[in-house]
Chain A
Amino acid sequence: LAKTTQPISMDSYEGQEVNITCSHNNIATNDYITWYQQFPSQGPRFIIQGYKTKVTNEVASLFIPADRKSSTLSLPRVSLSDTAVYYCLVGALGFSNDYKLSFGAGTTVTVRA
């Protein structure tokens, strides 16, 4: 099971870039890295997923170094509505009796005006 470690909280201001790093030292070869966003009293929402190097979509970028022991979610030009908890999830989604998905504690990002 790939355990993840993220900062508990981060503060930012509108228009700034926010970078959240997730450590996953014992990531397995077939593990993918997925980030989710969660607002209070709502289910998590998929943001981005990657395996190695860099992935970019319309809302975020994900940077994964060659050793894959960490990953960084980058949120460009955040707004107040980006205030949420961000989870890093590492796992190989498939059938395994020993497999347990690990969501980690999440990072509370607070964006101020």
Chain B
Amino acid sequence: KAGVTQTPRYLIKTRGQQVTLSCSPISGHRSVSWYQQTPGQGLQFLFEYFSETQRNKGNFPGRFSGRQFSNSRSEMNVSTLELGDSALYLCASRAGTGVEAQYFGPGTRLTVT
């Protein structure tokens, strides 16, 4: 099976702009989670979607939003970008909502200037 794919892999944006990141989960996986990784804060959970519904949410401002489509693909949007939003954004998928392992994508490296 193909792994989790994320596009784009690299992105450079300017403060104040908005950005949309995309994630395609492993075929058959219905749960998609998003994480932000920075050197200072480590891996932080953003939100999780299952069957097109947001099921869990981390402690991030409302500028961070997401959605999931009927084919389980997910997008994450960040509006009004700030310099501190520069990070590696990781998407992970798993089959359901139990304790099964998550499978991560390679991430999108976002740089805000």
Contacts and interface: CB of A to CB of B under 8 A. Distances in A.
Given A100-B58, A105-B42, A106-B42, A43 B100 contact: no
Given A49-B99, A96-B56, A100-B56, A43 B92 contact: yes
Contacts of B106: 41-43
Nearest to B50: A95
Given A87-B43, A93-B98, A93-B100, A41 B56 contact: no
Interface residues of B, number: 30
Interface string A86-113: 0100001111110111111110000000
Chain B interface, DSSP helix/strand/loop, else mixed: strand
Contacts of B42: 103-106
Contact of B4 (A36, A43, A87): A43
Interface in B83-113: 88, 90-92, 94, 97-107, 109
A102 B42 CA distance: 10
A44 interface: yes
Contacts of A104: 42
B46 to A, nearest CB: 10
Contact of B45 (A32, A46, A96, A100): A100
A45 interface: yes
Contact of B97 (A43, A95, A97, A103): A95
7 contacts: A43-B4, A43-B92, A44-B104, A45-B104, A101-B45, A102-B45, A104-B42
Given A99-B56, A103-B35, 6 more contacts: A34-B101, A41-B107, A43-B105, A96-B56, A101-B45, A105-B42
